[in-house]
Amino acid sequence: MWMTPKRSKMEVDESRVFRSEWTQRYLVVESPEGEGALCLVCRRLVVATRERDVRRHYEAEHDYYERYVAEGERAALVERLRQGDSPVVAPLTPEERAARAGLGLARLLALKGRGWGEGDFVYQCMEVMLRDVLPEHASVLDGIDLSPELTRQRVLNINQNLRSQLFNRAKDFKAYSLALDDQAFVAYENYLLVFVRGVGQDLEVQEELLTIINLTHHFSVGALMAAILEALQAAGLSLQRMVGLTTTHTLRMIGENSGLVSYMREKAVSPNCWNVIHYSGFLHLELLSSYDVDVNQIINTISEWIVLIKTRGVRRPEFQALLTESESEHGERVNGRCLNNWLRRGKTLKLIFSLRKEIETFLVSVGATTMHFTDKEWLCDFGFLVDIMDHLRELSELLRVSKVFAAAAFDHICTFEGKLSLLHRHIEEENLTHFAAFREVVDELKQRHKEDQKIFDPDRYQVVICRLQKEFERHFKDLRFIKKDLELFANPFNFKPEYAPISVRVELTKLQANTNLWNEYRIKDLGQFYAGLSAESYPIIKGVACKVASLFDSSEICEKAFSYLTRNQHTLSQPLTDEHLHALFRIATTEIEPHWDDLVRGRNESNP
């Protein structure tokens, strides 16, 4: 290693070099000392000169200057700031402060899934509190209007502001992927949620809701395709930059000849497009996989039990934990589809399995059938389903961890596939080491049927595991196709150049020979390492990094939307326009902070 050529400093730090276009965009100039960027407004030095650091400083401290949007206005503003003439930021008037409070409360109501009319109730609560605690300040509420009509409009304005910010950031995406979720809704109408994950020059990842499409109005795949393309065009995202598609594995999405994925891939085919990577197992993994392993309609039977418990067993102490769990997910009342989805979770099934004896006693007391508790095959199927769904739950929780990149997520999937092979062998050998619930059922049945030598048929459950293996192989086929790219991205210093594509071998050899880069790789996370890697010196590796980083690495944002819907199903099932529904879901899932001053002062006219 001592003979390793000394690295030129620019090889890592070129992406930190000040760029002239930042002056008008972020109101900064290059520091006279040559390191960092000097803010023209507050005269503070932004030390880490990556674009994301400069942008964060600007958005956090000087968002007010976004009102200067025209090119001539912006250039004049920069010239004034260079001369030390800073435009005075007028303080908010009392009316504007009242409007700001109203906007904040409207956003809070939206986040909590409360109806528009509850703003008046909030106002009354604050009025009572101030009159009793701070009577001298009770008048501050006079200018705050929380009427349903104004609250509804404020939610739309917040959505417009967030949408505008997303579209501004999308212009800088080097690559992006889409997640299409048609299984989230449990309301009266079904919708397709379209999420976008984009990556900028500095590998800063942004995951946001792009649009919501009403499937009632866009029933055909062609209509869906047109709606998605329209949303992409509005955001300034071309198909040439699309890298991946993550979907559910419904026929609407992955039908061989008529699925939306095949249509989008066909549309994206051109000499300038990358091959679109598709995988369909991330979204609602437990929910959709449960249909493959529920061999005896166990969920339907349990659903009937839960309905009985909710109507005739709510006061029984043994069921309080189960009812509390249900209400924390869906409230006191729950529709059938939502209940069915909740029961298809490994955690829920495990809880119900632990209460099976109490449930049997309850069913006897209300005169309901208990035939399943004497059915040997059904009980074995129940135990097997609980264990398989618990294994799927563990995988699903790993896939909810974001900011790990698709390479790590694919490792979890490969590990789980190896686990399925092990479970298959164990079932063949009648070894129930990793089937706790199944083993418990078998032990009970052996005590009950001592003369019976064969309690369960291993072939029955081997078939189920094989089916699940084939489904996983099908859903993640494209990720296997880019396995080398994922491995190269995750471990560039351990990847053998002879196994790399010919086009990247020279860059990879050069990278691995650089001691300073190796040291940075060891102490930084992958995102930071690739963000600091020079695009001029390593263009192909940097390109691979952008593509891999743009792939969805978790189901976090989809789970966030699904959780919001299930918690607030009654509010969301009320008559709402698609525009209002879109606003609620954007506010519930976004990581972007609204530009409050712009909203208060009504500067949304130029927004898209």
**Closest to 91 in 3D by CA, of 595, 606, 601:** 601
Strand order in the sheet with 37-39: 28-30, 37-39, 45-46
**309 half-sphere exposure, CB direction, 13 A CA radius:** 27
Q: How many CB atoms lie under 10 A from the CB of residue 308? A: 15
**According to the model, what pLDDT value does residue 330 have?**
55
Task: Dump pLDDT digits (tens) for 210-256.
Answer: 999 988 888 888 889 999 999 999 999 988 889 999 998 888 888 77
Distance separating alpha carbons of residues 363 and 309, to the nearest angstrom? 9
**According to the model, what pLDDT value does residue 8 have?**
34
pLDDT value at 599 more than 90 = no
Higher pLDDT, 69 or 421: 421
**According to the model, what pLDDT value does residue 274 have?**
58
Distance separating alpha carbons of residues 293 and 299, to the nearest angstrom? 11
**According to the model, what pLDDT value does residue 512 have?**
93
**Closest to 346 in 3D by CA, of 414, 299, 296:** 299
**According to the model, what pLDDT value does residue 170 have?**
92
Of all residues in the chain, the percent with pLDDT exceeding 70 is 88
489 in Cβ contact with 407 (< 8 Å) = yes
**According to the model, what pLDDT value does residue 83 have?**
78
Q: What average pLDDT does range 161-168 have in this prediction?
A: 92
**Closest to 170 in 3D by CA, of 193, 194, 200, 201:** 200
**According to the model, what pLDDT value does residue 414 have?**
92
This prediction has a pTM of 0.82
Higher pLDDT, 570 or 486: 486
What band does 272 get if pLDDT is binned at 50, 70 and 90?
A: very low
pLDDT value at 606 more than 60 = no
Looking up tokens 């032990």 gives 443
**According to the model, what pLDDT value does residue 7 have?**
34
Q: How far is CA 517 from the centre of its chain?
A: 32
Looking up tokens 């409009």 gives 153
In order, the DSSP letters of 326-370 are HHHHH-S---HHHHHHHHTSHHHHHHHHHTHHHHHHHHHHTT---
Q: Among 66-80, 110-124, 538-552, which range has the highest average pLDDT? A: 538-552
pLDDT value at 605 more than 50 = no
Looking up tokens 């369909």 gives 280
Q: What average pLDDT does range 138-144 have in this prediction?
A: 80
403 in Cβ contact with 451 (< 8 Å) = no
Higher pLDDT, 411 or 82: 411
What rounded mean pLDDT belongs to the chain? 82
pLDDT value at 332 more than 80 = no
What band does 276 get if pLDDT is binned at 50, 70 and 90?
A: confident
**According to the model, what pLDDT value does residue 4 have?**
28
**According to the model, what pLDDT value does residue 607 have?**
37
Higher pLDDT, 6 or 260: 260
**According to the model, what pLDDT value does residue 12 have?**
37
pLDDT value at 5 more than 50 = no
What band does 334 get if pLDDT is binned at 50, 70 and 90?
A: low
Q: What average pLDDT does range 53-69 have in this prediction?
A: 74
Q: What letter would DSSP give residue 1?
A: -
Task: Dump pLDDT digits (tens) for 70-108.
Answer: 667 788 888 888 877 766 666 667 788 888 888 999 999
pLDDT value at 542 more than 80 = yes
Q: Using CB atoms within 10 Å of the CB of residue 416, give its burial: 0 to 12 exposed, 13 to 18 middle, 19+ buried.
A: buried
